[in-house]
Structure 1
Amino acid sequence: MADGAYFTGKYPNLLKEAGLTEEEIDKRIQAAFDTIFFDEKERFYFEMDGDKGYMLDTGNVDARSEGMSYGMMMAVQMDRKDIFDRLWLFSKTFMYQKNGKYEGYFAWSAAPDGKKNAEGPAPDGEEYFAMALFFAGSRWGDGEAPFDYSVQARDILRHCVHQAELVLGGAPMWDCEKHYIKFVPEADFSDPSYHLPHFYELFGERANEEDKEFWKEAASSSRRYLALSCHPLTGMAPEYAEYDGRPKRLFHDGQFYSDAYRVAMNIGLDAAWFHKEEALGEIIDKLQTFFSEKEKGKEYHNYLTDGTALEQPALHPVAIIATNAAGSLAAGGKYRMGWVRKFLNTPLRKGERRYYDNCLYFFCLLMLGGRYRIY
């Protein structure tokens, strides 16, 4: 029986279970938010032109649709409409495609001055944009365009599904038969970490009427796909995967690599909100067992999904800790609270690569503290 917060109104709080008070949880969340957005040395949110702002990928020195939409989700969760609107205006002004085969999508990368580095989109940006905009519309109400949040969200989702019908030469972001999100619109494979069934459940209520059934089916299909693509022994997902779940031999040769860390976090939030698929928690149990028993706290590496450690150190070790901990929202094994405590003893990352780790860190902090809410 589904018993997530969507049905009960009660969000699980593993930080409280680990011994923190509600006040301590609020302080930790606020401190992390302040570091990301305001700390002079460690922030990666910057403002420009008086009314715009961007999230800087500090490792690649660009603004990405991933990070822009992440920043918007952080802002709506923290009730910061001012920051949300700045990020959205940057995205809509500089990254939104007004014509061509990508019309209605967002360029996946732009320079800090707003110049596009690429034309093509990355679908994980679109799904986060849409969900953050829906939450903004519910929390603050729709205003004048482009701040008519729910209208903008529905238009994004319309393009995601119907691009081939709407734009000459366009391709949708979802495989419309399998209901799987694609790595890019032209691809015939997926990225397991893009699969957000908990978002699709809500899209199934808030999208245009003709697409509601599509999104409901996408939620079920994505849960099945996550089970297909994660390794049966280690629980590791590959960076990219074929539609049958096999690792896709692309840039990182099917490894458990940076993108893939998000799968545990996504499974955790899906369980917190909807808790519809108990078997997904078993994936997290396997993943936590691997890192607790095989790696035993050693320096994290890149891995093949069977757990074979490669020579290269992991590019984002803090992200591994944070997402494994957030997966505890779905897990039932003996290591679930150990990972929560490990996360609590892990600080935000500093330095050049802090952007990705700290985005995921903040989301995991919200999730584990019961503060990542549906609006």
Structure 2
Amino acid sequence: MSGAFETGIYRNVFAECGLPEEEIEKRVRDSFQTMFYGSEEERIYHEVGADMGYLTDTGNNDVRTEGMSYGMMMCVQLDKKEEFDRIWKWTKTYMYMDAETLKNAPHGSSRNEGYFAWSCALDGTKNAWGPAPDGEEFFAMALFFASHRWGDGEGIFNYSAQARTLLHDCIHKGEQPGTGKPMWDPQNHLIKFITECDFSDPSYHLPHFYELFALWAEEEDRPFWKQAAAASREYLKKACHPVTGLCAEYAEYDGTPVRSQPGQKDRHDWYYSDAYRTIANIGLDYLWFACDP
């Protein structure tokens, strides 16, 4: 069987269940309208000035790379270029960590140059000076999609160049002393939970993204992404329970659940929070590429 990437046929399960096309499209439009332009009680998107905007993590009243990158993915899929560009500019303005930004950062934060701070306050103040790799990989994929849909612009809106640079940093950091740590382990090609640790998060594994990175990233990086796609598919078999299919929030590179991070008491060895995403990622990988039954 070939996936949708090869066949060009993307399933619409709602249509297969008998719902009219216009009803399906209306539901999508209405959902976007509610989340982006609904009442204050409903909306998660907020415009800032003439050309920026952010999405709120309503459970924590902050802005996270996870949510911003998801918002960009929604916008590019629905052809909402203005909102996409607003979100991306807010992200680059407040969340991006470059040399200038890091001059006033806590000691040791300079190793994260080129990454995005995973959490900011609603006014853009950084709550953290470290990145979360799930945000970076979604930023890159959304940017590549934007490049294909709208073409590349100038500066930060040269979408494909921004994506290639980000992905290059994600896998090459640490090759030179003092440059920080990569987001993917260079030996096993598995994405890390955070750059400072040596374990993973099953819900971060997006082999369907890596297949496309292997086509569109810097040419020298493409073999890495092809290997990462294969490695993630094998990892998910180890990290997901053989009967239930459920996974822990965090897991070692051999798939064993991680109970807690060093120095913390919160448990992460059960199906909760991050782990809710994993089955959707597996499903989308099979829909697009059908590489692994």
Give the structure-1-normalised TM-score: 0.73
**Structure 1 segment 271-310 matched on structure 2, within 5 A:** 271-278=286-293
Runs in 1 of length 4+ with deviation above 3 angstroms? none
Partner Cα distance (1:37, 1:253) in 2: 32
* Counterpart amino acid of residue 11 in structure 2: P
Structure 1 residues 20 and 166: alpha-carbon distance in aligned structure 2, compared to 1, 3 A threshold: farther
Aligned-partner residue type, residue 144 of structure 1: E
Is 1:185 the counterpart of 2:211? The answer is no
Q: Distance in 2 between matches of 1:252 and 1:193?
A: 16
Q: How does 1:260-279 map to 2 (within 5 A)?
A: 260-278=275-293
Find the counterpart in structure 2 of residue 85 from structure 1.
Answer: 85
Amino acid at match of 1:76: V
Q: Which amino acid aligns with 2:3?
A: G
Change (3 A) 1:166 1:6: farther
Partner of 2:74 in structure 1? 74
**8 A Cα contact 1:198 1:219, kept in partner:** yes
Please tell me whether the aligned partners of residues 105 and 121 of structure 1 are also in contact (alpha carbons under 8 angstroms): yes
Query: How far apart in 1 are the matches of 2:27 and 2:279?
Result: 22
Counterpart for residue 244 of structure 2 = 234
1:1-375 map, 5 Å: 1=1, 3-40=2-39, 41-99=41-99, 100-165=110-175, 168-250=178-260, 251-278=266-293
Q: Shift of residue 193 of structure 1?
A: 0.1
Q: How far did residue 57 of structure 1 move?
A: 0.3
Write the letter of the residue equivalent to 1:262: R
Determine the C-alpha separation between the residues in 1 that align with 2:79 and 2:222. Answer: 28
Amino acid at match of 1:33: F
Report deviation, 1:252. 2.3
SS of match in other structure, 1:160: helix
Distance 1:239 1:169, change over 3 A: same
Q: In 2, are the aligned partners of 1:163 and 1:172 still within 8 Å (CA)?
A: yes
**1:169, distance to aligned residue in structure 2 (A):** 4.5
Number of positions where the alignment pairs a residue of Structure 1 with one of Structure 2: 277
Aligned partners of 1:159 and 1:166 also within 8 Å: no
- Report the alpha carbon displacement of residue 147 of structure 1 after superposing the two structures with TM: 0.3
The one-letter amino acid of 1:272's match is L
Higher relative contact order (CA 8 A, sep 6+): 1
Task: Give TM-score scaled by structure 2 length.
Answer: 0.93
Please list every run of 5 or more consecutive structure 2 residues that lacks an aligned counterpart in the other structure: 100-109, 261-265
**Residue in 1 aligned with 2:106?**
none
Two-structure CA RMSD over aligned residues (Å): 1.0
Question: 1:121 and 1:168 mapped to 2: Cα distance?
Answer: 17
